[in-house]
Amino acid sequence: MKNYAFRIAIIVVISCVLSCADRPDRYEAPAPESPEAQAAEALNLAQEAMKAAGIDIEFNDLGDLAELSSVLPTPEKLTSLNDQQVGQMQTATDEMYKILEVVGESGTVPSAPLNPAKDTQPILSNADLLLVNLNLSYLNVLEAVRLLSATGEDIYKIEYSQKAGYTFKLTKLGKTKLDQAKPGEFIRDLSEDQRQAIVDSLFMLTGAKVKASDLPGMVKTIKRMDWQNAIHHLDKMLNLAKEIAPDLGVAMIDFNDIIADTLSKGVIDQVTKWGFEIENYDEVINKIKNLVSDEAQKQTSS
């Protein structure tokens, strides 16, 4: 069990980093068509969309990473969202990715020419970029959990607890059907919607590419780049945290373990036994191993 005082210290470090980040003493509004203005508009739209969907989190409170129960909504809440709220979740995701399109993952304009005579200041600070990646990881996870929860019916489900976060499990009937199925053939007992949800969720969580087959529902419908997934953004968060403050990465441990190991690898471990083949399996598993704690990594390697 983690030391409570240590966790409080980590939260203090995070709060200081975010509140004390270098900002100009006098704010000057950027030109309307500038990258700064485009990024600011996208961020504002994303925040509004998340709030409208009822899944917003505070951009200035990364201390929530030390207490995941205050950040992650339950599967029941996610499946209760109406179509408009689900659309707002998608809008928030699109706008967050628009920020990275405008400024690049390093926080600078990708096409900006280098000027040796003048230092190039990033549009977003490392703390800003960390928060953007936090929200993108969060949004990808929520949509994956929502999809799996909405399609599981009496076969599989997502459970949530404050200790373990999200866990992918078979129901009692699902276990019975799995036991009765031939090895690797349980995939055929799933509905088209269930197979589709698993294929799309694996991609949103890890960038996993499921091998297509003659079964319906085996081709992903998510129109995104390969790197646009929760695991990628967790990795970016961790690297940025280390650059901001060495202790900041410690606050990511629980978040990484719950998302990368308990949820993402938990889904992979089960569905690969059902007959789903992941073309980039080794790549995905290695990314997960790089993110999780030593304790979780031992379980990942077993």
Distances (CA, A) of 96 to 88, 112, 134, 265, 299: 12, 21, 10, 25, 33
Does residue 2 carry a pLDDT above 60?
A: no
d(Cα 30, Cα 109) in Å, to the nearest integer? 14
d(Cα 200, Cα 90) in Å, to the nearest integer? 14
Q: What is the pLDDT of residues 194-239, one digit of tens each?
A: 999 999 999 999 999 999 889 999 998 988 888 999 999 999 988 8
d(Cα 302, Cα 293) in Å, to the nearest integer? 14
The model's confidence at residue 254, banded by pLDDT at 50, 70 and 90, is confident
Residue 62 has what pLDDT? 52
DSSP 210: B
The residue written with tokens 């980093």 in the block is: 17
The residue written with tokens 């009822």 in the block is: 54
pTM for the structure as a whole = 0.84
Strand, coil or helix: what is 165? strand
Looking at residues 54-65, what average pLDDT do you find? 65
The model's confidence at residue 128, banded by pLDDT at 50, 70 and 90, is confident
Does residue 115 carry a pLDDT above 60?
A: no
The model's confidence at residue 24, banded by pLDDT at 50, 70 and 90, is very low
Tell me how far apart the 2 most distant CA atoms of the chain are, in Å: 71
d(Cα 18, Cα 274) in Å, to the nearest integer? 44
The model's confidence at residue 107, banded by pLDDT at 50, 70 and 90, is low
Q: Which of 30, 142, 136, 126 is nearest to 75 (CA)?
A: 142
